[in-house]
């Protein structure tokens, strides 16, 4: 698999929370050769199954992204916006964006708003319209928009919008492509609406009723400039095995199993303690009578900005560890 080619397809596909149809279709095309059946649930999560008679294992990577949604169009033609997920107003100022109909624009601000107190509701999207009527022919209230930044390599690290969580979707596809024979009943879930409350993972986990649940997602790092130890993972040090975040405390036995498996297979791995944020592992762990749950994470810098950064060696390590777990002997 050509990592950069596939990743570029994934991050370029339109798919903010609640509008994941395009990214879902891209992933279905890429996943189809590697699984026995593909379905979608009512919310739209894509569920790719490789059948087996053993324990059910659910791997979940969310395919939705954060973004903006049009809330009002003023008489000058500026599009007022709200947030889809965790959008930081200062972090996205003057970023190019595009709407689903390919209308493009630029995030600007109401100049009356103070920069140090900037809120998403102070943001506007300038789509180049001459006035309100012209703008309304291009954008309607309720239309979502996504960042329109580029994807490129900086050394061995990729810089791109929406590595959260398209790079984890890539990890699932890599593991599916390389997977050995196994008796385990495997479910590769590309969930929807994670950024607005891990909604897709809740319904998918309830329907699947897995024995094991592993969220594959990005995780915050302790090697950004001025990091204050709210995260433990480091870029370039391998797969980050989730110990805890704000959505769950991982099964200690699962953490030890993943770390031992990484050591046995020579896969670089590190423990991941994150004091902010959560993943699909939270709702998986709490579904029905409870699930043995944890996470395999890709260390990522500048999460929820239009220019996130991750190390491709960490991506490979995550795929290798995920594949090794999927092929291992598991107990129900």
Residues identified as active-site: 194
Angle at 329 between CA 279 and CA 270, to 5 degrees: 45
Nearest to 212 by CA among 93, 329, 39, 71: 329
Cα gap 136→329, rounded to integer Å: 58
Nearest 5°: phi and psi at 199?
-70, -45
Angle at 295 between CA 292 and CA 296, to 5 degrees: 140
Retrieve residue 243's tokens: 């110990």
* Rounded (to 5) percent helix, strand, coil in the chain: 30, 30, 40
- N- to C-terminal Cα separation, the chain: 32
Cα gap 309→152, rounded to integer Å: 10
291-303 burial, b at 16+ Cβ within 10 Å, e below that, comes to bbbbbbbbbbbbb
């Amino acid at each position: 698999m050509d990592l950069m080619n596939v990743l570029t397809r994934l991050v370029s596909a339109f798919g903010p929370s609640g509008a994941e149809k395009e990214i879902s279709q891209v992933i279905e095309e890429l996943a189809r050769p590697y699984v026995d059946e593909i379905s979608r649930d009512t919310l739209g999560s894509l569920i790719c199954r490789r059948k087996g008679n053993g324990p059910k294992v659910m791997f979940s990577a969310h395919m939705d992204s954060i973004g903006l949604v049009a809330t009002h169009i003023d008489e000058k033609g500026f599009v007022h916006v709200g947030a889809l997920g965790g959008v930081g107003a200062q972090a996205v100022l003057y970023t190019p964006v595009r709407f689903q109909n390919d209308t493009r624009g630029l995030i600007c601000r109401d100049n009356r708003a103070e920069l140090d107190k900037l809120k998403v509701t102070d943001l506007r999207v300038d789509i180049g319209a001459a006035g309100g009527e012209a703008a309304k022919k291009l954008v309607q209230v309720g239309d979502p928009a996504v960042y329109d930044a580029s994807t490129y390599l900086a050394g061995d690290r990729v810089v791109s919008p929406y590595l959260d969580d398209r790079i984890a979707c890539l990890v699932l596809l890599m593991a599916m492509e390389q997977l050995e024979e196994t008796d385990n009943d495997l479910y590769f879930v590309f969930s929807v609406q994670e950024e607005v409350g891990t909604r897709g993972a809740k319904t998918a986990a309830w329907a699947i009723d897995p024995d094991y649940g592993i969220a594959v997602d990005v995780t915050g790092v302790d090697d950004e400039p001025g990091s204050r130890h709210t995260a433990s993972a480091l870029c370039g040090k391998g797969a980050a095995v989730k110990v805890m975040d704000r959505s769950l405390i991982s099964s200690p036995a699962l953490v030890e199993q993943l770390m031992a498996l990484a050591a046995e297979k020579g896969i670089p791995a590190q423990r991941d303690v994150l004091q902010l944020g959560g993943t699909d592992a939270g709702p998986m762990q709490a579904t029905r009578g409870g699930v043995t749950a944890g996470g395999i994470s890709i260390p990522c810098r500048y999460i929820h900005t239009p220019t996130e950064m991750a190390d491709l060696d960490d991506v490979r390590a995550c795929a290798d560890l995920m594949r090794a777990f999927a092929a291992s002997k598991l107990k129900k």
